[in-house]
Structure 1
């Protein structure tokens, strides 16, 4: 890394990864267009679960920005899945058994991460544009823009329906993805150990994204194959995450013989992943996850904004504790063998 970049942004790496992201971003846009066409045709064929929930959206031409927003949301989730899988494979035992070199896997992980952030922002921006267009509260041009901005980009600003919680989850995913995803380019200032420790928290972004979709994604509002498929995609993530916990790529991350608190955290994480895997398998096998049923009134939200904010406080405390531990722990000497600079 150039000396001039050691305390700031590694512009060389960022420019290289942005160039590398062009091909997969182009593919992502193509898939987004295909998803938009699929959603559009479902509206015209009157088979859209979204229209069943919100009949006023039945005019696909008038509300094309909303459907484009939905399409970008789905492609963002798909790319979040892809970059999460690449990161877990890179930081776990997988690359030793794959024909893809570890360095290339890491580059793919970084470029798809950048694409994911762009897709997430496009998803939010189109929702903002649609709110500006459809706002009929007589607020005037500036008032409409400000109201739409608050509802779209201010956590807790959306105040109706399931969006009270779901949009908050989506915004937290977006706002956490930016620092946790881009921290790699500031590793000269933070140090590789701190960057690597903090980057592991990015899995929370993926969890929030899936949660946001299951709660608010009206295209998978009801039980059925789209919702079951979404659950099925979580199975490989859970299994690779479990493998990454059991056999991390870097020997220094293995907890055997480590402090008691590290072994406790590791055991808790492994137990949680095994439990989540069992839930995913049960949902895939039964095809039901306790979600909504057509023409049956939905139950009230079981999660409130207060619970989400409390969870965020716990998350922030975990990040702060991680920074403190890394800063105070002695630096271990690099191992001669079996050690790789994993990204996840």
Structure 2
């Protein structure tokens, strides 16, 4: 895809996919270094016999035999870290810039784009290594082709994993991956979709982070049992929620700000969104205080999962409905704008804000 240029804050930037992929090389290299460090840490804990994961799944105690599984987990943790970073950068970029912020809008946006690309790559590597591990270790009397097809279904088809917490965990992770690709890469097609359509759809990308965190917090950290790591990871979600509130209250684009003449429906949607985020912060604090988040407790038999696959699919259907409504609203607004421009009695509309 040919790179395009735009000017923001007086600086020129290249916004094509190729340019961003080149710019993401240092970022991706750092992610790989951290992934290797996490892998060494996980591997060494298994060798030392102090891995909480092995307490839950004793058959993984042979670190050499299951090294691919531990590398898969390392990619999962680095993917969550990069998802956190890119979400923070995206919320900062789309909020009003405070006077004390040392970095330009252009730089923050470039970091957001490159970390988003790295996150997608890490998520795919996490899923792909899990697929390879299943294809290598599955012992279900299938021939070679059958094992690979079965591994593909279990690791890449939403709802294809047949048993255990993976029925929900892998479903959540795959939905996050398959939403991250179009919602993240749609930026590079904005000249075809239109900037307003891209912005309307990109706002839904926060769901990717929610699914990723849910996938890890309940089905990754649950093998850590109760303790400070799980508590710390829950507390780290509060800054995301606070930044989301700031984004809703004080957006960067003039067209997103509330003021005189703003339709009542826009005000209601914004208030409902803020209240929902505040409720999420309250839920996080309740989890931290009570220590009950659906994860495991050492020496306590786990209860049945409180979330079932059909609940996830129902929520996903509601999400798809919300995306469809957003698309229809943008198209209706575009048609109204075109009609206004064709009418000689209507004054010319203001140019769209630069993104």
TM score, norm. by length of structure 2: 0.89
| C-alpha distance after superposition, 1:18-56 (max 9, x if no partner) | 001000100000000000011111112222111110000
**Is 2:134 the counterpart of 1:131?**
yes
Match of 1:173 among 170, 173, 176: 176
1:36 touches 1:67 (CA, 8 Å); kept in 2?
yes
Structure 2 unaligned regions, length at least 5: 6-13, 338-348
Structure-2 separation of matches of 1:240 and 1:60: 40
**Is 2:229 the counterpart of 1:226?**
yes
Q: Which residue of 2 aligns with 1:8?
A: none
Structure 1 residue 94: deviation in Å?
4.0
Structure 1 residue 340: deviation in Å?
4.8
Q: Which residue of 1 aligns with 2:331?
A: 327
Structure 1 unaligned regions, length at least 5: 6-10
3-state DSSP of counterpart to 2:24: helix
Structure-2 separation of matches of 1:146 and 1:35: 30
Match of 2:72 among 46, 69, 74: 69
Match of 2:199 among 196, 199, 211: 196
Figure out how many residues of one structure are paired with residues of the other and give that number.
Answer: 333
2:221 touches 2:295 (CA, 8 Å); kept in 1?
no
CA-atom RMSD, angstroms?
Answer: 2.1
Higher radius of gyration, 1 or 2: 2
Structure-2 separation of matches of 1:287 and 1:297: 16
Structure-2 separation of matches of 1:97 and 1:194: 32
Structure 1 residue 3: deviation in Å?
11
**Is 2:313 the counterpart of 1:309?**
yes
Structure 1 residue 93: deviation in Å?
2.0
Structure-2 separation of matches of 1:4 and 1:18: 14
Q: Which residue of 2 aligns with 1:79?
A: 82
**Is 2:304 the counterpart of 1:263?**
no
Structure 1 residue 137: deviation in Å?
1.1
List, as ranges, runs of 4+ consecutive aligned residues in structure 1 with deviation greater than 6 Å: 1-5
Structure-2 separation of matches of 1:91 and 1:213: 26
Structure 1 residue 95: deviation in Å?
5.4
1:220 touches 1:226 (CA, 8 Å); kept in 2?
no
2:56 touches 2:223 (CA, 8 Å); kept in 1?
no
1:95 touches 1:102 (CA, 8 Å); kept in 2?
no
Pairs within 5 Å for 1:40-119: 40-94=43-97, 96-119=99-122
| C-alpha distance after superposition, 1:99-133 (max 9, x if no partner) | 00000100000000000000000000000000001
Q: Which residue of 2 aligns with 1:154?
A: 157
Q: Residues 198, 288 of structure 1: CA spacing in aligned structure 2 closer, same or farther, 3 A cutoff? A: same
